[in-house]
Amino acid sequence: MTDSENIKEIKKLGEEIMIGGVRFKSNVLMAPLAGYTCFPFRLMAERLGAGSAYTEMVSADALKYNDKATTKLLYTDAREKLKCVQLLGAVPTVFERAVKSDLIQKFDVIDINMGCPVPNVIKSGEGCSLMDDIPRASKIIESCKRSGKVVSVKCRIGMNPQRIVIEEFARMCESSGADMITVHGRTRNMMYDGEPLYEYIALAKRSVSIPVFANGGIDSKEKAEEMMEKTGADGVMLARYGFENPLAFSLLTGREINDTKLSLILEQIDIAEELFDELYVLTYIKKLASYFMKKQPGTKRYKLDLYKCGKVSELRELCTAIFGSDDNAGLV
């Protein structure tokens, strides 16, 4: 019997879902992306249909310093309806202190990063390496859960093909108090390449009663639907696809919107300029504009001009020139 035959009911993209007593307006979520999922982007994703969008990855240990960089990563206000933060670390007591800090108190959902595969994170005993230390991972979840907040865990299926532990790991997450898990369907050694191993996400789903979201390799509506069908997941979490194509949230959830690439980028400039310094605005908008340009023909000639921009006013004019002629090309 195949995994799909074992799945009793395939959930639909765009459905509302309750997680730990908190209502997510859709089951299409935006993953944390370092350098990208800042407050303006999270607002955009939410408005376009994302059930939630997580902050960039934040070091639990760094919270004790209360520095400007961390404060900027954690900026939120009343415009963000569902506030979700992702923390990275390796020490349960550090997590417990972090979730009690003033900066974290304003968030509704705490996500624990147990899936990051990059070498520096692994060497520190953080991210995906916690899948090799299940007792420590359990204590971290319990520490976060004592905050009284909804707690989710983002993980992979294991460190390598010889150490796939997702069934045991998922059960540990549930028994330790996690309200949800998101499973990236690759091992650590696969990094971000190769077809996700759908059967192991399906295994995680069958192993627990809490919601399981699927992540990895989703770059189209067809891929999202395939992920749901093959895994039986309660929803999907987009990563690079969500940043390259924010209108994907409306596409996957069936939300009717009238936005174009131009209107989105100008709105992002306005929100970022309201909150952050000019250097931050320039850096962020240039990255966003570059992604928006990827599938739009005729934009190659603008790339040098984009990176030479030294003022927000110039950047606004250039974005209007780039995206004003064919607003919708390449985004859906």
Write the CATH number for 45.
3.20.20.70
Residues 153, 278 share a domain: no
Report how far Cα 157 is from the mean position of its chain's Cα atoms. 17
Q: 9 is in which domain, residue-wise?
A: 3-253
Report how far Cα 94 is from the mean position of its chain's Cα atoms. 23
Residues 297, 200 share a domain: no
Check: CB of residue 306 under 8 Å from CB of residue 294.
Answer: no
Residues 6+ apart with CB under 8 A from 173: 137, 141, 153, 155, 181, 208, 210
Q: Which of 253, 270, 290 is the last residue of a domain?
A: 253
Q: Nearest-CA neighbor of 39 among 236, 214, 281?
A: 281
Position 7 scores a pLDDT of 56
Catalytic, 319? Answer no
Structural domain contains residue 302 = yes
- Residue 234's SS3 state is coil
Q: Which of 105-114, 171-180, 229-238, 295-304 has the lowest mean pLDDT?
A: 295-304
Higher pLDDT, 111 or 10: 111
Residues 290, 242 share a domain: no
Q: Nearest-CA neighbor of 179 among 227, 228, 212, 218?
A: 212
Averaged pLDDT of the chain: 93
In tens, the pLDDT along 27-43 reads 999 999 988 999 999 99
In tens, the pLDDT along 289-326 reads 998 888 777 788 898 999 999 999 999 999 999 998 65
Q: How far apart are CA 143 and CA 140, in angstroms?
A: 5
Q: Which of 225, 253, 281 is the last residue of a domain?
A: 253
Residues 6+ apart with CB under 8 A from 319: 262, 265, 266, 269, 285, 289
Q: How far apart are CA 168 and CA 190, in angstroms?
A: 20
Alpha-helical segments (H) within 37-91: 39-48, 68-73
What is the maximum alpha-carbon separation in the chain? 60
Q: Give the confidence band of 4 by pLDDT, cuts at 50, 70, 90.
A: very low
In tens, the pLDDT along 114-137 reads 999 999 999 999 999 999 999 999
Q: Which of 253, 273, 294 is the last residue of a domain?
A: 253
Q: Give the confidence band of 55 by pLDDT, cuts at 50, 70, 90.
A: very high
Q: pTM (2 decimals)?
A: 0.93
Position 303 scores a pLDDT of 87
Structural domain contains residue 331 = no
- Residue 114's SS3 state is strand
Residues 21, 117 share a domain: yes
Q: Which amino acid is at 121?
A: V
Position 113 scores a pLDDT of 98
Q: How far apart are CA 202 and CA 233, in angstroms?
A: 7
Position 120 scores a pLDDT of 95
Report, in angstroms and rounded to the nearest whole number, the Rg of the chain calculated over CA atoms.
20
Residues 303, 245 share a domain: no
Catalytic one of 38, 84, 116, 319: 116
Residues in the chain: 332
Residues 225, 301 share a domain: no
Q: Nearest-CA neighbor of 249 among 33, 83, 25?
A: 25
Q: Nearest-CA neighbor of 236 among 209, 189, 198?
A: 198
How many domains does the chain contain in total?
2
